[in-house]
Amino acid sequence: MNSVEINGVLAYCFSTRSELIDYALSEKKSLIALNAEKILHANGETREFINANIAFSDGIGAVWALRKKGFRNAVKIPGCELWLDIIESARSDKTFYLVGAQQEVIEKTVATLQSEFPGIRIVNYRNGYLRNGLEYQDLINDIVLRKPDVVFVAMGSPRQEELIAQMQEAHTAVYMGLGGSFDVYAGAVKRAPDWWVRNNLEWAYRLMKQPSRITRQIHLVKFAWMLMTGRY
* In a domain? residue 88: yes
Closest CA to 79 of 57, 61, 62: 57
Residue 110 domain-assigned (yes or no): yes
pLDDT of residue 203: 58
Interval 15-28: pLDDT, tens: 899 999 999 999 99
Is the pLDDT score of 214 beyond 60? no
pLDDT in tens, 184-210: 999 887 766 777 667 666 656 665 666
- Residue 148 inside a domain? The answer is yes
Decide: 216 and 209 in contact? Cβ < 8 Å.
no
**Residue 120 domain boundaries:** 80-191
Residue 199 domain-assigned (yes or no): no
What pTM was computed for the model? 0.88
Q: How many domains does the chain have?
A: 1
- 93 found inside a domain: yes
Comparing 1-10, 82-91, 166-175, 190-199, which segment has the lowest mean pLDDT?
Answer: 190-199
Return d(Cα 53, Cα 50) in angstroms, integer: 5
Report the pLDDT value the prediction gives residue 156, as an integer from 0 to 100.
85
Query: CA 23, CA 169: separation in Å to the nearest integer?
Result: 20
In a domain, 103, yes or no: yes
Is 196 inside any structural domain? no
Mean pLDDT over each residue of the chain, to the nearest integer: 89
Residue 74 has pLDDT above 80, yes or no: yes
- The answer to the question of residue 8 being in a domain is no
What local confidence, expressed as pLDDT, does residue 62 receive?
Answer: 92
Task: Please report the pLDDT score of residue 3 as a whole number.
Answer: 92
**pLDDT tens readout for residues 78-130:** 999 999 999 999 999 999 999 999 999 999 999 999 999 999 999 999 999 99
Angle of helix 202-209 versus helix 214-228 axis, rounded to 10: 150
CATH of the domain at 141: 3.40.50.2300
Q: What is the dihedral of CA 177, 14, 65, 61, to 10 degrees?
A: -40
